[in-house]
């Protein structure tokens, strides 16, 4: 029984390490993308707190994808998928970029939580719609496919 437990733990550790190295070479995952676009009517029916959450989600997608948009606009794309060698140098650069973006997002989300509630609801709605248009254009990409 002891050997089985140790074997299972070993397999889980190896799997975790392997999964982490795979994700390090991916630009961004689908979880970083919003899954719904809204109309003015949809947004007008929401409370300010709900609007701020939508606002934050859109800012996160833009901040995650926009800096490397010239490389890919699709989730799950790996370095090797676009012809970049997945060596330690490139993976380290991409991982560093992700870590920096994550830290920046924490600061930005805090600023949004603290300051945007003072904005007029109509301006929050307008900004969400604007961000959604930017995201649609980012997703369309250079080949025009959505």
Contact 131, 59 (CB under 8 A): yes
Looking at the predicted structure, is the pLDDT value of residue 135 above 90?
Answer: yes
The strand pairing partners of 78, in sequence order, are 26
Percent of the chain residues past pLDDT 70, beyond the cut: 82
Q: pTM for the full model?
A: 0.80
Q: With the C-alpha atoms ordered 80, 83, 84, 87, is the resulting torsion angle positive or negative?
A: positive
Looking at the predicted structure, is the pLDDT value of residue 18 above 50?
Answer: no
Looking at the predicted structure, is the pLDDT value of residue 145 above 90?
Answer: no
Report the distance separating Cα 24 and Cα 85, nearest Å. Answer: 13
| Predicted pLDDT of residue 132 | 98
Looking at the predicted structure, is the pLDDT value of residue 16 above 80?
Answer: no
Contact 41, 73 (CB under 8 A): no
Report the distance separating Cα 38 and Cα 50, nearest Å. Answer: 13
Contact 75, 29 (CB under 8 A): yes
| Predicted pLDDT of residue 25 | 85
């Amino acid at each position: 029984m002891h050997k089985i437990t140790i074997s299972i733990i070993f397999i889980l550790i190896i799997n975790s390490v392997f999964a982490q190295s795979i994700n390090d070479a991916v630009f961004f995952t689908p979880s970083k993308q919003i899954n719904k676009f809204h109309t003015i009517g949809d947004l007008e029916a929401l409370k300010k707190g709900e609007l701020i959450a939508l606002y934050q989600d859109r800012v996160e997608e833009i901040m995650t994808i926009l800096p490397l948009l010239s490389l890919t606009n699709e989730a799950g794309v790996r370095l090797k998928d676009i012809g970049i060698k997945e060596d330690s140098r490139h993976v380290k650069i991409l991982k560093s970029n992700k870590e920096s973006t994550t830290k920046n997002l924490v600061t930005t989300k805090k600023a949004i939580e603290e300051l945007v509630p003072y904005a007029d609801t109509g301006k929050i709605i307008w900004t969400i719609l604007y961000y959604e248009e930017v995201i649609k254009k980012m997703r369309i990409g250079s080949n025009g496919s959505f």
